[in-house]
Amino acid sequence: MRFNAKDLALLARRPTDCFDKEGKLKICRVVGDEKLIEPRERWCRLKGNLLFLMKNKSSEASEVVILERCWVVEFRKKTDVSIVLKFQSGEPDLYLEAASRPDCESWAVALGEANSEGLRNKIQQLRRLIMEIKEERSSDEARQFLPSSQVDSLGEPQFTSIQRTANEPKLEFSLACKDLVSATRDRKLNTFIQVSVVHPAEHILTRYSSTEIVEGTRDPLFLTGVTFPPEYPIYEETKIKLTVYDVKDKSQDTVRTSVLPDHKEPRADVGQSFLGCTTFRVGDLVKSKEQQLTLTLRTSDGGKTVGTIEVNLVKMGELEGGETDHVTTDSQDQKFLCFVPLKSCSCGFLCATRAHNTENLERMTDRQAKEECALVRECTAPEGISGKDNLPSLNAVLKNPICKLYRFPTSDNKWMRIREQMAETTLSFHVPKELINLHIKEDMRRNQELKDLGELAPHWDNMRQSVIAHCDQMLRMYQDTLAELGKHTGSSFKSSCSKGEKTLEFIPINLHLQRMHVHSPRLKDALYDVITVGAPAAHFQGFKNGGLRKLLSKFEAERRNTGYQCIYYSPENTAKAKEVLSNINHLQPLISSHADLLLNSASQHSPDSLKNSLKMLSEKTELFVHAFKDQLVRSALLALYTARPGCVLKKPAVPRSSAEEEGDAQHRDHPSQVKRQDSIPHHSEYDEEEWDRVWANVGKSLNCVIAMVDRLLERDNISNIKEGENDPSAADCKVLHTGGDWYEQLYPLVITLKDCMGEVVTRAKQSMAFVLLQELACGLPQCLMLTLRRDIVFSQALAGLVCGFIIKLHTGLHDQGFLQQLHTVGLLVQYEGLLSTYSEEAGMLEDMAVGISDLQKVMFKVIEAKSEDFLPIITGRREHYIIEVQLPAKMFELLPQEIKEGKLLRMYPVLFNVGINEQQTLAERFGDTTLQENINQENLQLLKEYYKLFTEKMPPDCLPHFQEQNDLKGLLENLHQNIQAKKRKNIEIMWLAATICRKLNGVRFTCCKSAKDRTSMSVTLEQCSILRDEHQLHKDFFIQALDCMRREGCRIENVLKNVRCRKYAFNMIQLMAFPKYYRPPEGTYGKADT
């Protein structure tokens, strides 16, 4: 373009007050993501649409940037202080870096409003503001004529609340347009309405929601309504602004799919054009006789009329007496829907649109049916399906629910109604915090046990000090993480953008309940739940060296070949050592407590109480004695003895058990083990029989207590027996029974039992702590880092499992067959993975496989809640956790006696993975898919074992009647064949596994990297497939239903929650590699952060 250089130079040197903005910025040109040169500091001056770049404030302008046909890209992270100017001409982007975040935001606003388009937007805003001022002038003038006493009494503005039923939305209305005017006569309109709210106290315009796009008509009826939740601050004085746009290109539908500042209008060149707008007061709608407003749409200058908008107030329950649904068409063949009564809709939302002349659905033509779209409604506070009794306990778990309602035609031309719900859960943070707290206690206890080992030889003592130092460092990390999580407020879910944050690495990614409630004309209402969550993985630690599956295998191989520094114990032995220590810590206080109760019963001279106390003491002591039968304790005591200072070999080795001889055979096979014996002698002056005597003394002491109690009860019952009669069992105890008080007779025996038990505990604790010392010392620091990684992955997996169990328990409370299955067999938990086996996702899959496998060690227990806190309680240790789920008294009474008595409930987790994206294509053609094949085959065996257990323990009539139509055995065989076939992207595996899970009353999970994009495609496909196969969805409506759920349903809301953008993170090239039914509709995908 032509310009006058002298005039521009003169303009650049004008005083500061002549410029819109000026200041220092670091600037460079950018091509793609690469900077051509390092950013250089420049003094920048903005005047209109001209940006002058100068070396310093007093120098000449070295460059002028014309801010036309460009846009500003502002980075959303709080730490970013840079923005990028992108030009439509294709020239390199201009990178600008400010000194601070506020300065960066200020420059972004100034540059965004600098061009002629920004000037036009300002003019439009001013015109609209003038129109609103004119509307308010009449009421303001009337206020001026009020007596001064009345004006003074008004004080602060008082707003009129809208009276609605508790837990129901404050306001709901539907929208329809008529006689819209197109800028081009021959062009058909594709319109949607943007809804904004003007708060009466602040007079600030806030964008609230949008409708769906209705194509090809001048009289669109919008199937998406507007809902204001109970907590939303809306009053009769609130104004609502409705703006109608014409979408030229659905793939550029950025107004509905992106998040812009509230005060800005969308750009005019991004795929849509402004048609008209109007405003109304909420009070006018609520108080209107017909509860309907007909408003005139006008252009931005308020001059030209471009059509009308009809706003219909929707009230819950008014039309519940209605019968069948009806449809009719107008001259443009657009479908109109009448009021739809949803009696079964427990969220209280009545699906309704504008009433028109009607015609029965049975008279619909095929052409009309194909053009019909689902009715979508949204509400925010759904109640439970099974009534209000379970609301308190569910509300403690679920939070921020979103509800969408649809209706689709069935194959016999009836309407089915579907409610889709999505809710985040408070367990996302509650479970990890409880788990970390248990880890801290367990690690503190372990560190103390290592310190209590006593005096060790210098080699072993140095090893112990090193282990304790590393463990203390890891313990502080857990404590810091718990402290950071304690500070967390706000949303109860972790977004996909935060998966790499260190402070949130224990939190599951994007954990939500996805529920579909189907109300069919001729079938019973049905619920289908899926838990969606990002694959449990340690994202912050990364996947450079693979995931847990590979890392654990490699670590164990290296530990086997450890040199002379430590003694090798197998993973089974170390797990056994942890179990023994756990049993000691659990049983010792119980035995002491029961012994005290026994003495208390004796002092009260109560025979019944004495019998009961003795029974409990005997049971716990027998468990205690049984815990030390393992040969590991004996061998560990020997190893610990050799590690004491001054231990020398004084006599030949004593005979050892066969287990120890096998150990010697292993030493001969491994030269490094022989080398280790030179510095750690395994044979010394150690009496192995001493441990047997100490251990057996506990049983003997218990027998003495039992004999004494029997003697006392016998003397109490048979008064004619001579006091001096000999009793063999009592003679063994060497106690003379000459009468006297029961307490005095039992006290010395109980003290002896406690002393014997204390000696056993001391020796066993030290020996097992020595075993754990070897495990830690052999792999520092890798051992602790692997433990941390495994804890992170397990925490994410456990949070999802607890959520799934609680939801399943609530929905199955009235199903006696399910409850019987729960305590007799256990609960099947099926995970559907969508991760590829290429690059980092292979490491994620390895993490996920180990985390899900670790869930086998989790047991559930249902207890009656004693307070209003219904959150689950977690107890136990690593590799053995018990989750106590609390239920209100009314719900607890519905459970079988076995569950009420505290029977532990087992979990059977299985994982089936099929990669579906473009990275899986690379893995199948150029990489390796062995990992996926092995995981699927291993878990198929687990699934078959569960089915075998199920058929052996459960009666054949326990499954719902409609499931008998499909043979589970046949489905399992089909699944087996598909896994063996090794077909590329065989999505049949996922469908078969999900079907088997539902038929076995299992809990369904769907996972991808962030549970946002691929998961959304899978969940919506599963929902529509269920509607087709189980509820007779009309075959011509399958694709329409699928697109509707993906475009307007809960999953696009999930995308918005995660990345603040209504676009799935796919591009066209990626989708070419996706299976056909996993591709989103046009306009719902594009570039987005993930």
Backbone angles phi, psi at 655, to 5 degrees: -60, 140
Whole-angstrom Cα distance, residue 447 to residue 466? 12
Whole-angstrom Cα distance, residue 728 to residue 325? 88
Q: Catalytic residue at 28?
A: no
Both tokens assigned to 908? 């059977």
489 residue type, one letter? T
Nearest C-alpha neighbor of 484 from the set 470, 468, 498: 498
Work out the angle between the directed axes of helices 631-642 and 742-777 (0-180°, nearest 10): 70
Work out the angle between the directed axes of helices 930-953 and 988-999 (0-180°, nearest 10): 20
Per the DSSP assignment, residues forming a β-bridge with 359 are 327
Per the DSSP assignment, residues forming a β-bridge with 883 are 860, 874
Whole-angstrom Cα distance, residue 197 to residue 171? 13
Whole-angstrom Cα distance, residue 704 to residue 691? 20
Residue 281 and residue 239 in contact, taking contact as beta carbons nearer than 8 Å: yes
Contacts of 1025 (CB under 8 A, 6+ apart): 991
Residue 97 and residue 81 in contact, taking contact as beta carbons nearer than 8 Å: yes
Q: What is the DSSP letter of 496?
A: G
Both tokens assigned to 993? 């596994």
Both tokens assigned to 634? 């004996």
Across the chain, which distance is largest between two alpha carbons, in Å? 131
Backbone angles phi, psi at 460, to 5 degrees: -75, -35
| Pairing mode, strands 21-31 and 34-35 | antiparallel
Per the DSSP assignment, residues forming a β-bridge with 526 are 518
Residue 517 and residue 385 in contact, taking contact as beta carbons nearer than 8 Å: yes
| Pairing mode, strands 70-74 and 82-87 | antiparallel
Whole-angstrom Cα distance, residue 423 to residue 702? 55
Alpha carbons within 13 A on the beta-carbon side of 445: 16
**Residues 891-904: b if buried by 16+ CB within 10 A, e if exposed:** bbeebeeebbeebe
Alpha helices in 627-741 (DSSP H): 631-642, 658-669, 671-679, 688-717, 728-733
Residue 543 and residue 529 in contact, taking contact as beta carbons nearer than 8 Å: no
Q: Exactly one of 373, 997, 1008, 1050 is catalytic; which is it?
A: 1008
Instruction: Using the structure block, give the residue that is written with the tokens 């406690």.
Output: 754
Interior CA angle at 765 toward 759 and 766, to 5°?
A: 95
Torsion of CA 951, 956, 958, 963, to 10 degrees: 100
Catalytic residues: 1008
